[in-house]
Every structure is written in C-alpha cells, then in structure tokens.
C-alpha cells in the first residue's frame, strides 16, 4: 500500500508539470512584452502614454488619441533576439543513497529570434470624439532547450502566445488640455510546454527492482488555449503647451486554459504501473489551468524644452502578485499539480529624449531599469529572469507630410540569474547560473490622411 500511495504522490506534483506555465525570459520582467511601438522603443518607452504621433497610445493610454487628426494607420514589427545559456550541474535522487549526477549538455541557446508585430488604427471625429483599434502581443515568448540537457527534468520547451484586440475611445473634456479614454481588451492565449520525466528515479525511490535514476526517461507535453476580456483606461493632462502628463491602467485578464496532456511512458515503467493497479496514471487526456495576466499601471511625462528637444519619462508598476500559484487540473486519474510562485510586483522606469535634427529626421534615445518578479527561491530554468537595464536608440524619417518611417534598436543586459532548485519527490536538483542578453530590432511605418 505504501508503494501505491508513493505513485499517487509523485504522479503530477512530483513531476513538476505546473512549473511549465512560468514561461521563458521575455524582454521585460516576467513574460511581459512591451513591443507595441518601435518609436517608443527608441527612447526605452519613456513617455509612452503621452508622446504625440504614436498610434500605439490605443493601448498605452487611450486618452492621448485625441492629439491625432483625421485617420492614422500604423504598423510595427520588432524582432526579439534572446540569448540564454546555462552553466551548472544537476543531481538525481539528491539526499538518498541513489544520488548521482544528471548526465547531459548545457542545453544550448534557449532563446532565438522572435518577431512581434503590432497594428493600430485611430480616427478622430470633428466633435472631439476619437476611436481606435489595435492588435498587439502584450505577453509571451518561447524558450527551448536541447533534448537530453542537464535540466531536462525541469524544462524543455515553453511557448506562450497572447494576441490582444483592443477597441478604445477618447474624448476631449477641455480641448487641448484634458482628455479621458477607455477601452475593451479581447485576449487570446495559447500555451505549449514540455519536460522530461524521470520514471527511473520515481520507481527506484519506491524500491522497485531494476530501476535507477535516469534509466527510464519519458516526457510530458501540455497544450492549452483560452480567451478572456479586460479593460484599459487613461487620462491625459496638458497644463501648459510644453508639459504633458498621462496616467493609464490595464486590468488583469483571467484565463482558464483548456487543453490536453500527452505522456510518453517507457514500456518497462508502464508494465510496473499496470502490475500494481496504477494503469490509470500518466495517460493522455484533458488538462486545464488558470492563468491571470497582471494589471499594469503607467505614469508618463513629456516636456518640450524647445522646438528641437523633448524630454520624457515613464514609471510602470506590474502587479505580478496575480501569479501566486499555478494549478493544473488533469482530466484523468492524476491529481492536481500545484506549484507555488509567489511572484512580487515589479517597477519599470525609463528616461528618454527626442531631438529634431531637421524637418525630415528625428533622433531619440533612452535608458530603462526593469525589475524581475522572481526570486532565487522560486526561479526555474523556464524563467531565468533577473533585473535588467535597457539602452535604446531610434530614428524617424518623415518621408512626406503623410508618411513616417521609424527604426529602433535596444540592448537589454540582465543581471546574472542564479538557479538552485530541488523538486519535492524525485529529488532532482539543478544548480548554476545563466548568461543572457537581448537585442531588439524594430521597424514601423505610419500613414495619416
């Protein structure tokens, strides 16, 4: 009976499947993506909610849409080039007589190049009412380690995609001085995650003859998707012709991801499960998990020093406390898998400037500091995240009165993320650190008529 209970205990929770919903290192804290504007990226997103002439305000601060005239169409694409490599070691059955090093490589480059597109539309009516629509990707990225790497029992692939459709409206309460805006956000989320499963350790620790750590590797793959709704609202206040102050808030969005779990179980391990009456464990079936994307509040300021030079700043708080835990509910006999994250809220601040070189060209730059929601106690190889610093440059070319082209580059340098984790049941330990960097390359076009 003790052995039977042991298999139930280690089924889902001990295999650490839940941890796969904390996705790999994105360019902003946690798995947040800021890339909805190439122009704003060129100044490290300083002044993102009040800068005129940038249609991304549909989502960054809808109140600022009233600064537009006529109709504006804008398309942005940013390529996120993430590099992340691991240096460390792992151990199976840690703290038991069966303990041994985990064999395998360092996992290779877990990152890669990922394009993030965005498109926005704004139209202002003659009565001061302005409406806008935008498609963007506020959260997600992909990390993938080589099969057989030393941390395979903690992570292989983590892939999260979110796509938002935002519909916003704004109105000038005091023309050219004070406006308000709000919008509805429709969000589609899709997730895929995988990890290796050390059935050899689980069976050896249960005193089943013929098994040893790493002797019977399998795999677990979970996929799921869902849609949810949220809202945004914002204020834009211009006390003088030179100063603009904006405040915006994006709500949490709740998701109930529905999908499936695919298990690969070695034949010798499956034979044992069948023999002891546990054939219902580790079978393909339905799976679901709750995921709440965080709320985001941003204060933006811009000051026009003279006809050529403008200074900007942003301060953002992201409420990552919405990710307290991840619980996966399996549709078959496997018990819920629960993993504690206890992520903390983060702060992002940036400063930037724009300098008008001529009627045709504008140069911009910026610096930002971005906090991580993770700590050493909760950090996993799925999210080798740390505080990071941004260094940004950008250029605008006004091709004509109606057409504008923007290009930007950002270098992001995180602090060194350190890993030190042990799973509860199969005693897999992983210790080491990651070296990582991110390069962002952006190009956008805007057409007004």
The pLDDT tens digits for 144-168 are: 899 899 999 988 988 888 999 999 9
* Structural domain count of the chain: 1
Give the pLDDT of residue 425. Answer: 64
211-215, 350-354, 402-406, 424-428: segment of lowest average pLDDT: 424-428
Smallest CA-to-CA distance from 410 within 388, 382, 384, 387 is with: 388
Give the pLDDT of residue 379. Answer: 81
Banded model confidence at residue 253, pLDDT cuts 50, 70, 90: very high
- Rounded to an integer, the average pLDDT of 135-147 is 86
- Cα(312)–Cα(362) distance, integer angstroms: 15
The three-class DSSP label of residue 47 is: coil
Smallest CA-to-CA distance from 263 within 349, 191, 199 is with: 199
Which helix (DSSP H) or strand (DSSP E) does residue 371 occupy?
none
- Rounded to an integer, the average pLDDT of 387-402 is 95
Report the chain's mean pLDDT, rounded to a whole number.
88
Res. 405: pLDDT tops 70 = yes
Question: What percentage of the chain exceeds 70 in pLDDT?
Answer: 91
More confident residue, 210 or 11: 210
Give the pLDDT of residue 19. Answer: 46
33-37, 184-188, 247-251, 297-301: segment of lowest average pLDDT: 33-37
Give the pLDDT of residue 22. Answer: 42
Give the pLDDT of residue 28. Answer: 58
Give the pLDDT of residue 3. Answer: 52
- Rounded to an integer, the average pLDDT of 399-420 is 93
Buried-exposed string 159-188: b where 16+ CB fall within 10 A, e elsewhere? bbbbbbebebbbbbeeeeeebbbbbebebe
Smallest CA-to-CA distance from 290 within 336, 258, 331 is with: 258
Buried-exposed string 191-228: b where 16+ CB fall within 10 A, e elsewhere? bbbbbbbbbbbbbbbbebeebebbbbbbbbbbbbebeb
Residues 346, 322: contact at Cβ < 8 Å?
A: no
Give the pLDDT of residue 180. Answer: 98
- Rounded to an integer, the average pLDDT of 237-245 is 96
More confident residue, 342 or 321: 321
Res. 439: pLDDT tops 90 = yes
Banded model confidence at residue 1, pLDDT cuts 50, 70, 90: very low
- For the entire predicted model, the pTM comes to 0.85
More confident residue, 426 or 6: 426
Banded model confidence at residue 12, pLDDT cuts 50, 70, 90: very low
Res. 60: pLDDT tops 90 = yes
Give the pLDDT of residue 289. Answer: 84
- Cα(112)–Cα(333) distance, integer angstroms: 37
Mind listing the pLDDT tens digit for each residue in 366-391? 999 999 888 887 788 887 778 999 99
Res. 72: pLDDT tops 70 = yes
Res. 272: pLDDT tops 70 = yes
- Rounded to an integer, the average pLDDT of 405-419 is 93
What CATH number is associated with residue 10? 2.40.160.60
Give the pLDDT of residue 13. Answer: 39
Cβ neighbours of 395 (radius 10 Å): 17
For 442, the domain range is: 2-448
More confident residue, 77 or 109: 77
Res. 319: pLDDT tops 70 = yes
Give the pLDDT of residue 235. Answer: 98
């Amino acid at each position: 009976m003790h052995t039977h209970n042991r298999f139930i205990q280690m089924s889902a929770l001990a295999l650490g499947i839940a941890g796969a919903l904390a996705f790999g290192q994105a360019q902003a804290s946690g798995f947040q993506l800021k890339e909805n504007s190439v122009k704003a990226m060129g100044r490290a997103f300083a002044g993102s909610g009040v800068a005129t002439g940038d249609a991304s305000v549909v989502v960054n601060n809808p109140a600022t849409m009233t600064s537009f005239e006529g109709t504006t169409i804008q398309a942005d694409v940013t390529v996120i080039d993430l590099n992340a490599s691991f240096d460390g070691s792992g151990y199976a059955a840690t703290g038991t007589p069966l303990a041994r090093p985990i064999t395998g490589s360092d996992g290779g480059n877990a990152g890669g190049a990922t394009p993030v597109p965005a498109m926005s539309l704004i139209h202002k009516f003659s009565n001061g009412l302005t409406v806008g629509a935008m498609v963007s990707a506020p959260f997600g990225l992909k990390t993938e380690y080589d099969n057989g790497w030393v941390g395979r029992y903690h992570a292989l692939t983590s892939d999260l995609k979110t796509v938002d459709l935002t519909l916003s409206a704004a109105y000038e309460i005091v023309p050219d001085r004070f406006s308000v805006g709000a919008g509805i956000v429709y969000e589609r989320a899709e997730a895929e995650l995988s990890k290796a499963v050390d059935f050899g350790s689980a069976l050896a620790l249960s005193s089943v003859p013929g098994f040893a750590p790493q002797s019977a590797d399998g795999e677990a793959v979970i996929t799921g998707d869902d849609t949810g709704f949220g809202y945004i609202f914002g204020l834009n206040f211009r006390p003088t012709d030179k100063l603009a102050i904006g405040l915006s808030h994006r709500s949490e969005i709740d998701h109930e991801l529905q999908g499936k779990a695919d298990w690969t179980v070695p034949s010798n391990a499956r034979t044992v499960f069948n023999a002891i009456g546990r054939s219902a464990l580790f079978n393909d079936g339905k799976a679901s998990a709750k995921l709440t994307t965080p709320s985001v509040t941003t204060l933006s300021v811009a000051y026009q020093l003279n006809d050529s030079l403008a200074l900007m700043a942003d301060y953002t708080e992201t409420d990552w406390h919405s990710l307290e835990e991840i619980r996966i509910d399996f549709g078959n006999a496997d018990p819920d898998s629960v993993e504690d994250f206890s992520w903390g809220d983060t702060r992002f601040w940036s400063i930037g400037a724009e300098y008008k070189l001529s009627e045709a060209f504008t140069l911009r730059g910026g610096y930002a500091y971005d906090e991580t929601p993770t700590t050493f106690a909760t950090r996993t190889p799925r999210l080798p995240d740390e505080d990071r610093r941004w260094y940004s440059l950008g250029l605008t070319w006004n091709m004509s009165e109606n057409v504008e082209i923007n290009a930007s580059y950002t270098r992001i340098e995180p602090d060194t993320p350190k890993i030190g984790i042990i799973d509860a049941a199969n005693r897999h330990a992983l210790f080491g650190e990651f070296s990582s960097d991110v390069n962002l390359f952006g190009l956008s076009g805007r057409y007004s008529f």
